[in-house]
Amino acid sequence: MLIADPPPSSLIDPNLVAVKLISAAASHGNPRHADLIFSLLPDPNLAAWNSRLKALADNRLYALALARFNSLLLLRPRLLPDEFSFTSILKCCAALAAASSGEASHAFIVAHGIASNLFVANSLVDIFSLRGDVGAARKLFDEMPSRTFVTWSAMISCHAKSGDTCAARHLFDQMPQKNIVVWNAMISGYAQNEKFSDSLKLFRAMLQSRSLRPNPATLVSVLSACAHLGALDSGRWIHSYIDRNAVELTLFLGNALADMYAKCGCIIEARKVFDELHEKDVISWSIIISGLAMFGHAEEAMSAFNEMLLRGTEPPNEITFMGILSACTHSGLVDAGLEYFRLMREEFFIPPTVEHYGCMVDLLSRAGRLNEAEDLIASMTVQPNVIVWGALLGGCRIYKDIERGERVVRRILQLDSEHSGSYVYLSTVYTSVGRLEEAAECRMKMRNKRVMKTPGCSWIEVDHAVYEFFMGDRSNPRSQEIYSRLGELRKKMKLAGYVPNTGVVSHSVGDEEKEDAISMHSEKLALVFGLISTVGGETIRIVKNLRVCDDCHEAFKVISKLEGREIILRDRSRFHQFKHGLCSCNDYW
């Protein structure tokens, strides 16, 4: 039997061997090994360079891949990069949001006619999106001779990221066929732009089409919308969908589900989901700690925080500390809050953000320690913003420190000359102490500067539909019933001893007009709609975008007793659970 001699080494292309070895090393998660193999080549060709770049990009070594690409351009100018080179490089630029590298790559691509390559064009759309250059992305999109689902979803996401959900939806509606990636792009685009109702409506439309089934990414986006709207029924339906279809409760999806329950005021259900997670990360712990904080369960929040430290799986981060500081704030635990604030800085070496400072200023201000609060602002390592000064202003309002309040207002107006809360505060304070001319001057300044108060908005879910109310809203089809029932309630409330707090109205009008104004606050309209739309004994859940006013808070306590209903209201900072004429916040909020 004859045995053939091995081919001479000169017939074996080392680049071909290297490409296979580099690909094998990269697929086994050894990009550094792949890079080392490449470095042994005496004269690497473009295929070897492309394999090297792909190995680094696929293993998320984006900065190193860009550095190697620059080496190619500098050291081997005769080796012109092709579409395979740029598919990897643009992926790195997108991941790093490296605008300058993206611009240089784009110029090279156009000059060498590679932009017509579909994969390269898709990557360029991503780059333009990250740069916020919607015009360039759309121009490239419109010029593309053919498009994939990836192209459409990238362009829809680009419009959504810029805040133009109308343009995104127009593109979405133009598509003759849609896959789950495209649906997800539009659903999450709505959620990212706080158009949560639209996100839920589109999700329901997807279900009704029966052409696609939602995947975990879809469910995470929709659960986020449910969380923000307080749409508990819809959130529960998604949970049952997960169970019915045996969808794997991944960490990402489990966190979204726990967050939905926590933000809908179902802390027991949130804790159950949390306990069922096979693995927990810092986000999981932060969700449960923040959820307990929003309900005023400070002891439970601190217990969860301590349990997290004992398990030692992941250290707390700035969000975790924001949750535990909020728990202390909502319960007036000043000394505990100060200790956690120290722990964050000195033991976990987490520099406080302006939000942490705002929470601490709020904690001290609510406790009447206004000097300490102002001293803390003076010692801040970051520039105090309107929210920080506003927390101190809230303390001035509670403790009627007019002199300090005027000083704080001046600081706020230096930062934001159109801060409506400052003008309203001064007008209300001046009116309460009989300084009517100065109160009128504040209102005149608001009119002259065209300062507009952020409109109060409340949401309530009934039969899986979310209804939105503004102050004095008459757009609801059942408005006549709402106002009729509201009038009846006002009479019953007064007989029960309720006295409207007209002090929350800053306008110079009569007492009767003030009473009418506060009776039409958005949360009251949402509550009455809930009363006439649900069966007796059913819990009513409302979400409001602003802090609940003193009058609505008192009114909700009275109504909960008169109607025998539990009312759960989530305002801008916390939950209020009204039952039997009392609130879970113990009037400390």
Confidence (pLDDT) at 111: 47
Query: Has residue 250 got a pLDDT over 90?
Result: yes
pLDDT in tens, 393-451: 989 988 989 889 889 988 988 888 878 777 877 777 777 677 788 888 888 887 787 77
pLDDT at 119: 67
pLDDT in tens, 528-571: 999 999 998 899 999 999 999 889 999 999 999 999 999 999 99
- Residue 124 or 492, more confident: 492
Angle at 244 between CA 242 and CA 250, to 5 degrees: 30
d(CA 79, CA 112): 13
Q: Cα 455 from chain centroid?
A: 20
Domains and CATH numbers, the chain: 352-453 (1.25.40.10), 457-504+511-583 (no CATH)
pLDDT, average across residues 5-28: 75
C-alpha to C-alpha distance for 454 and 546, rounded to whole angstroms: 8
Higher pLDDT, 91 or 407: 407
Dihedral (CA of 559, 562, 565, 566) sign: positive
At residue 39, the pLDDT reads 85
Q: How confident is the model at residue 510 (pLDDT cuts 50, 70, 90)?
A: low
CA 320 from chain centre, in angstroms, equals 15
pLDDT value at position 114? 47
What pLDDT sits at residue 573? 86
> 458 forms bridges with which residues in the sheet?
469, 544
Residues 237-264: what's their mean pLDDT? 95
Q: Provide the pLDDT for residue 2.
A: 45
